[in-house]
Amino acid sequence: MEPAEWWQQGGQEPLRFLNVPNLTDVPKRILIGRALRSDKLGETLLPKRIALPVFASDALSSVAYAPEEILLTLSIAGVSAIHFSWQIGVVVAVVMLAVVASYRQNVHAYPSGGGDYEVATVNHGSNSGLVVASALMVDYVLTVAVSTTSGVANVVSAVPALHGHELALSITLVVLLMGMNLRGVRESGTAFAVPTYAFMIGVIGMVGYGLFRHLLLGDTMRAESAGFHLEATPGNGALTGFALVFLLLRAFSSGCAALTGVEAISNGVPAFRTPKSRNAATTLLLMAGIAVTMFMGIIYLAHLTGTQMAENPAQQLAGAPAGYQQKTALAQISQAVFSNFTPGFYFIAAVTGLILVLAANTAFNGFPVLGSILAQDRYLPRQLHTRGDRLAFSNGIILLAAVAVVFIAAFDADPNRLIQLYIVGVFVSFNMSQSGMIRHWTRLLRTETDPKERRRMQRSRLINGFGLVMTAAVLLVVLVTKIGHAWIAIATMVTLFVMMKAIRRHYDRVADELALDDEKPVRPARIHAIVLVSKLHKPTLRALAYAELTRPHTLEAVTVNVDQADTDELRAQWEEQDVQVPLKALESPYREVTAPVLEYVRRLRSSSPRDVVSVYIPEYVVGHWYEHLLHNQSALRLKGRLLFKPGVMVTSVPWQLESSERRRAVRSYSAPGDVRRGEPRRRTVPSGAAVEIPAASASPDKDPAK
């Protein structure tokens, strides 16, 4: 039998089912929702009331642990250094306001969403841009790790029974955040808005209530650690001179953790509703005012309630009961302020845990956007530039979650250890951004002649200059005081920088190889077609028929003689079915299938270098993952080897098994016009499946369009 004849008569199925959803689509739709069309992107843009919790939750939540970091660092010198906490807090607040003022210039000058990366690239060059990108990616990963572990630590302070389960809780929260963000920016922002606003109201309300009790009622509010005696760590004692200055600088650098997340808004300008730049600048101002108010309020209440934190409570807190579990600073403060209102303490604990966890949402919005821009610039894999079903950059979201889980596991979900790595990347990007903006304004001033515009640009340059001085001082302090911890973050940044340069070189090399030039493609002299055969069955006949229809110069079927009895049986069937394509058996004394085929193809290519060898491989299409283990393994190995051979084309000819069609309830089907013509329902097909009726089944005297 001719393969083409089989194709026309017995090989054609009466119906073809198209657009049948995959079984994995059902859980996917349940978890992340229905897919959105590309033209619905505008509907996902954020108003300011949603953008504030989406992009500022990291900066706002930092006030929950930044004061604690100041107290922990000062505790090294014992109780004698604690009174410096409010002076350090004031300096941190000034730096925050300077940085926010600087970033308000950035969002107006560079509203495309590149943020610090774009500023550094445009004004300092691509290498500087990659330094910033590396720093920001490390910062985003640590934002997720620090936020989730700090949130868990606050919850454990309120519910001690959870002690010992911090690692499992932190990883679970990262996975949940990933799932929420895969549903889309707008949906995740709406879900996170209530906890963020509840945290702001709770902390500001706690500060107001504490001031009310202290100033108007004259109540004494004492934290649980106020009655303990804070001793210096062994070997430090009462520090003086240079040692004290170094300690204060280190405490200041720890407190600058409050600035983390400030840059996220400049990276997320495209997600704002129009006017994008103005809305982003307004959100920055709101964030700064709220964050500074909460930060200074917590430091004041810590001083008022006598809150003490120790790096080693068992050794430093004299008078503490045996087995004492140190609560977070915010938990101690809220317990003291709401000593006469217990629900207030639990409310602060709940919203603090939530906001610290949800602060990771800032990174889940910033990292994928930055990854997309870097992928577009060919510094990261192109898959990071693709939007998912919900118009979010799904690959970037999943990558961020995976790397954050690695960091959490590596540091045993300890937020105090993770925070030490945190600040370096932030202030590297701050410095590069501010110096880039100074160059930006200087370049524009060279050509600007309008006096009003020149005054505005000079004012903006002055703001960015002040921001550069402040952030450079902080970066210097961080590097000097925390190099023992910061080297891990620096090494990670260097690794990312080298990796991105290598990816760009690869993409550039591939682009150069594929670019059009004056050289004309050489047309092959002949095409030798080979159909690989293991048995004579329907998939084999389909592959032979398809190969015949391509009209190659020569066509032959090739099998590998692994078992002589099987080969003899195949030859007998070949003659019995009168298949006109010649069958060639390749000897394989070592029962290897791949090597004889590769050697045969190599000989064909060597004998006629200008010819092309086209290899057709029949393959089964199965419907269940476990069936893949039972089929197509030899074909997969062959394709993998043949694809590396020049002058060889590999074509898979699929044969769909019944399991590849999704089993669904059947329903009656009527072709268009059947009801009008009074014809009964004639067929049953899977519900929801698209149907194509062959032309042969249509009536010749009927117009199918009617």
Residues contacting 494, CB < 8 A, separation 6+ = 134
DSSP at 239:
-
Same domain (yes/no): 484, 585? no
Q: Which domain holds residue 359?
A: 33-508
Which band of pLDDT confidence, cut at 50, 70 and 90, is reported for residue 31?
Answer: low
Same domain (yes/no): 493, 529? no
Mean pLDDT of all residues belonging to the chain? 81
Cα–Cα distance for residue pair 54/64, rounded to 1 Å:
17
Cα–Cα distance for residue pair 460/61, rounded to 1 Å:
28
- Is 60 exceeded by the pLDDT of residue 41? no
Domain-located, residue 347: yes
Residue 3 is encoded by which pair of tokens? 């393969």
Tally Cβ neighbours within 10 Å of residue 535.
12
pLDDT, position 238: 57
pLDDT per residue over 518-567, tens digit each? 777 778 889 999 999 989 999 999 999 999 999 999 999 999 998 899 99
Domain-located, residue 4: no
- Is 90 exceeded by the pLDDT of residue 517? no
Same domain (yes/no): 377, 448? yes
Separation in Å, CA 563 to CA 257, 569, 637: 71, 10, 20
Same domain (yes/no): 372, 485? yes
Domain-located, residue 117: yes
Comparing C-alpha atoms, which of 608, 607, 610, 629 is closest to residue 620? 629
pLDDT per residue over 357-398, tens digit each? 777 777 887 788 888 889 989 999 988 887 765 556 788 888
| CATH code (residue 623) | 3.40.50
Residue range 121-126: average pLDDT? 92
Which band of pLDDT confidence, cut at 50, 70 and 90, is reported for residue 499?
Answer: very high
- Is 60 exceeded by the pLDDT of residue 321? yes
Q: Are 583 and 557 a contacting pair, CB within 8 Å?
A: yes
Domain-located, residue 12: no
Same domain (yes/no): 486, 550? no
pTM for the model: 0.70
Last residue of a domain, one of 483, 508, 533: 508
- The residue length of the chain stands at 706
Helix 115-124 to helix 360-376 angle (10° resolution) is 40
Give buried/exposed letters for 357-375 (b at 16+ CB in 10 A, else e). Answer: bbbbbbbbbbbbbbbbbbb
Comparing C-alpha atoms, which of 108, 144, 115 is closest to residue 132? 115
> How remote is the C-alpha of 271 from its chain's centroid?
16
| CATH code (residue 106) | 1.20.1740.10
Comparing C-alpha atoms, which of 246, 287, 274 is closest to residue 103? 287
Residue 671 is encoded by which pair of tokens? 């072709």
What is the SS3 assignment for 618?
strand
Q: What's the half-sphere exposure (Cβ side, CA atoms, 13 Å) at 169?
A: 21
Same domain (yes/no): 504, 579? no
For 320, phi then psi, to 5°, come to -75, 145
Comparing C-alpha atoms, which of 419, 432, 407, 414 is closest to residue 482? 419
pLDDT, position 230: 82
What pairs with residue 683 in β-bridges?
Answer: 669
Same domain (yes/no): 105, 152? yes
Domain-located, residue 468: yes
Last residue of a domain, one of 444, 473, 508: 508
What pairs with residue 612 in β-bridges?
Answer: 527
Domain-located, residue 14: no
What would the 3-class secondary structure string for 545-610 be? HHHHHCCCCEEEEEEEECCHHHHHHHHHHHHHCCCCCCEEEEECCCCCCHHHHHHHHHHHHHHCCC
Cα–Cα distance for residue pair 530/276, rounded to 1 Å:
59
Give buried/exposed letters for 187-217 (b at 16+ CB in 10 A, else e). Answer: bbbeebbebbbbbbebbeebbebbeebbeee
pLDDT per residue over 177-201, tens digit each? 888 777 765 555 566 688 889 999 9
Residue % of the chain over a pLDDT of 70: 84
Last residue of a domain, one of 476, 508, 540: 508
Same domain (yes/no): 334, 421? yes
Phi-psi region for residue 115, left (φ > 0), alpha (ψ -120 to 50) or beta? left
Cα–Cα distance for residue pair 532/530, rounded to 1 Å:
6
Same domain (yes/no): 310, 261? yes
- Is 60 exceeded by the pLDDT of residue 678? no
Same domain (yes/no): 265, 194? yes
Q: Are 317 and 71 a contacting pair, CB within 8 Å?
A: no
Same domain (yes/no): 684, 559? no
Domain-located, residue 18: no
Give buried/exposed letters for 497-508 (b at 16+ CB in 10 A, else e). Answer: beebeebbeebe
Count of structural domains within the chain: 3
Domain-located, residue 24: no
Q: Are 181 and 188 a contacting pair, CB within 8 Å?
A: yes
DSSP at 644:
T
Residue 502 is encoded by which pair of tokens? 């290598």
- Is 70 exceeded by the pLDDT of residue 603? yes
Same domain (yes/no): 164, 213? yes
